[in-house]
């Protein structure tokens, strides 16, 4: 009987060891942010490493390179540049090589690219005079289509990680609010339900596509808020004063990076905080441009 019990005990112990060894390894936390960094008369895209502090320039031309957006597989970056005289959308490899221009400089300016979940489409904002619209095109620049087509200003598009919705800012009610719509421009819904006359809304999706982080007004200035994708549960996350904008949610759903302009400062500092708004910390001081300073977490 003792031999039987010993054998059973050995089998149980072996099963426990196997179960432990078979457990999936924990995923590495995202530690790299692509951040537009201003130096004198140019803005470059710099890969900021939160873990070891090493920064790497992916672009370093006498230009303004802004609004970076990683492709879902992390192999490419779409961005805005004025390197050829006008504001246009470009794409490059993850190491900064093989730069390709997707839209042309004519009498309009293109900005703020954002990728679809399958990497086959890019949405962006086209400004033509006082009129701003959201467009969608193929990832190679083909089939550019206006999906908002209003007389107001529709801007700041952000494609949800699940590919089902695009969030954007619009002043169609007279002042800026955050809306969501289908990728073809249908089923537009107001989710912020509050007028933001300053216009710095810049919505960003949480990793699970259930929440939208954006900028809205409070009594002191422009702060970071979060709301459920259906417009419920709005909550203020920051209370830093000044201007807090250009949010970006990490792919593991744990962090939010954003720009903070202290009152009177012309350049922004890059901050990161927990998804619930806790522990905002400065990462890079006073190097962010007012326009186009959206950070972008590198996908794992």
Angstrom distance (rounded) from CA 225 to CA 222: 9
Contact 121, 183 (CB under 8 A): yes
pLDDT, residue 71, reads 98
Task: Pull the structure tokens for residue 94.
Answer: 């993850």
Q: For the chain, what are the domain ranges?
A: 34-297
At 128-143, the pLDDT tens digits run 878 899 999 999 999 9
Tally of CA atoms within 13 A in the half-sphere of 47 that contains its CB? 18
Can you list the residues of the chain whose pLDDT is less than 70?
Answer: 1-28
- Check: pTM over 0.75? Answer yes or no: yes
Closest CA to 257 of 245, 241, 242, 240: 245
Please, are residues 189 and 211 in contact by the beta-carbon 8 Å criterion?
no
273-298 residue pLDDT tens: 999 998 899 999 989 998 899 999 99
pLDDT of residue 27: 54
**pLDDT at position 163:** 98
- Nearest residue to 222 via CA among 205, 204, 206, 238: 238
Compute, in degrees rounded to 10, the torsion defined by CA atoms 212, 218, 220, 221.
50
Percent of residues in the chain assigned helix, strand, coil, to nearest 5: 5, 45, 50
| Helix spans in the chain (H) | 2-22
Q: pLDDT value at position 52?
A: 76
Cα angle 247-165-159, degrees, rounded to a multiple of 5: 40
Cβ atoms of residues 245 and 257 within 8 Å: no
The CATH code that applies to domain 34-297 is 2.120.10.30
| Beta-ladder partners of 235 | 226
- Name the residue with tokens 């095109």: 137
């Amino acid at each position: 009987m003792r031999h039987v019990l010993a054998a059973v005990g050995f089998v149980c112990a072996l099963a426990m060891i196997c179960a432990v060894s078979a457990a999936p390894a924990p995923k590495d936390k995202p530690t790299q942010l692509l951040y537009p960094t201003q130096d004198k008369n140019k803005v470059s895209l710099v890969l900021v490493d939160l873990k070891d502090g090493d920064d790497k320039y992916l672009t370093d031309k006498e230009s303004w390179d802004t609004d970076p957006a990683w492709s879902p597989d992390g192999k490419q970056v779409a961005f805005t540049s004025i390197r050829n005289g006008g504001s246009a959308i470009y794409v490059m490899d993850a190491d900064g090589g093989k730069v390709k221009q997707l839209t042309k400089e004519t009498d309009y300016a293109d900005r703020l690219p954002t990728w679809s979940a399958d990497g086959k489409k890019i949405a962006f904002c086209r400004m033509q005079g006082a009129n701003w619209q959201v467009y969608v095109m193929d990832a190679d620049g083909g089939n550019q289509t206006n999906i908002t087509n209003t007389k107001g200003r529709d801007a700041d598009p952000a494609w949800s990680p699940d590919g089902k919705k695009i969030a954007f800012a619009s002043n169609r009610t007279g002042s800026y609010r955050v809306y969501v719509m289908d990728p073809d421009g249908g089923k537009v819904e107001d989710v912020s339900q509050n007028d933001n006359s300053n216009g710095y809304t810049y919505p960003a999706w949480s990793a699970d596509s259930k929440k939208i982080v954006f900028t809205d007004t409070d009594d002191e200035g422009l702060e970071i808020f979060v709301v459920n994708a259906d417009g419920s549960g709005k909550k203020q996350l920051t209370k830093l004063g000044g201007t807090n904008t250009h949010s970006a949610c990490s792919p593991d759903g744990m962090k939010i990076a954003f720009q903070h302009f202290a009152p009177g400062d012309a350049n922004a500092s890059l901050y990161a905080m927990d998804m619930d708004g806790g522990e905002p910390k400065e990462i890079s001081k006073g190097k962010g441009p007012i326009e186009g300073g959206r950070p972008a977490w590198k996908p794992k």
